[in-house]
Amino acid sequence: MNKADRFFSIDEKKAIGDAVARAERKTSGEIVVMVVERSSLYREAAVFGGFVLAGVVAMAIELALAGLLSLGRDWSGAQGATSHWLLAAESVELWTFLPILLLACLPCRLLCTKVEPLRMLFVPHSRREQAVVDNSLRMFHAKGLDRTRDATGVLICFSLAERRVRILGDRGIDAALDVQGWRRYADRLSASVRAGRAAAEVLAVLDELGDLLAQRFPRSTDDKNELPDEIQAVPGDGTQQ
C-alpha cells in the first residue's frame, strides 16, 4: 500500500465518499477527491542535494584526517584539541578534497533520491507550488474531469510531499467561485494537511461546496453520476497511470 492509500483511514475514505455523494445530490457538479504521493520527482533537487551533502561529507573527512595527523605530529605541544582542528581547517588541500567530493557525490545523490524528506529540503517553495499546479492539471485531464456532460468537474487534489492542496473547476463551473474563492478552500485544506486534520476539513469543505454549487448549478432531473465518488489514491505523481 502506497502513501497515498494510507493517508486516509478506511473509515475516513468511506466518510469522504459519502460526503461527495451527498454534495452531488444537490448539484450537477462532479467532484473528485484525489491523493497523490508527490507532484514531481524533483530530480534536480536530488542532484543538487547530493552535491551539497557530498561537500559536507568531504569536508568532514578532510577535517577529521587533517586533525588526526596534526595531533599525531605535535601531541605534546598542543594548546588543546580545538587548536588542532582549527589548524586542520586551514590545512585542507584541494587535491585531496576534490577526489573525496567526487566519490561521495553518487551515494549522496542516491540518498536524496531515496529519502523524500531529505530531497524536499532542496526544493524551493516556488518549485513546489508550480509542480502542484502542473500535476493537478494533468490529473484533471487524466481522470476525465474535463469530459463531463456539462463541463462541471471539480478536482480536489492532495499532494502529500508538498503538503499542499489544489482545487480545479472545469469551465462550466469555474465561475461559481472566483480564483480567490477556490484558493481559500485550497489554503484551508493545505493547512489541515500540515496540522494533521485533513479528513475533518475535507468533509467540511465538501458540504460547503455542495451548498454553494447547488445555488448556481442545481441538479437536473436527468443528471447522472459520471465520475466515481470514492477517493482516488494515486501512487507517485500519477504520470505512470
Calculate ∠ Cα 168-151-232, nearest 5°. 50
Rounded to an integer, the average pLDDT of 109-137 is 95
> Which pLDDT belongs to residue 77?
47
Q: Mean pLDDT check: name the lowest of 91-95, 129-133, 136-140.
A: 91-95
Mean pLDDT over residues 101-122, rounded?
94
Render pLDDT for 64-90 as a digit per residue (tens, 0 to 9): 776 665 555 554 444 555 555 455 555
Q: Has residue 94 got a pLDDT over 80?
A: no
Of the chain, the percentage scoring pLDDT greater than 90 comes to: 62
Instruction: Kindly report the average pLDDT of the chain as a whole number.
Output: 86
In CATH, what number does 3-40+124-234 get? 3.10.310.50
- Listed by start position, the domains of the chain span 3-40+124-234, 43-120
pLDDT digits (tens, 9 = 90+) for 29-46: 999 999 999 999 999 999
**What global pTM score does this model have?**
0.83
Q: In this predicted structure, what is the pLDDT of residue 241?
A: 42
Residue 95 has pLDDT above 90, yes or no: no
Question: Which amino acid is present at 155?
Answer: L
- Rounded Cα distance between 227 and 2, Å, is 23
- The residue that leads in pLDDT, 81 or 219, is 219
Amino acid present at 233: A
Q: What are phi and psi of 116, to 5 degrees?
A: -60, -45
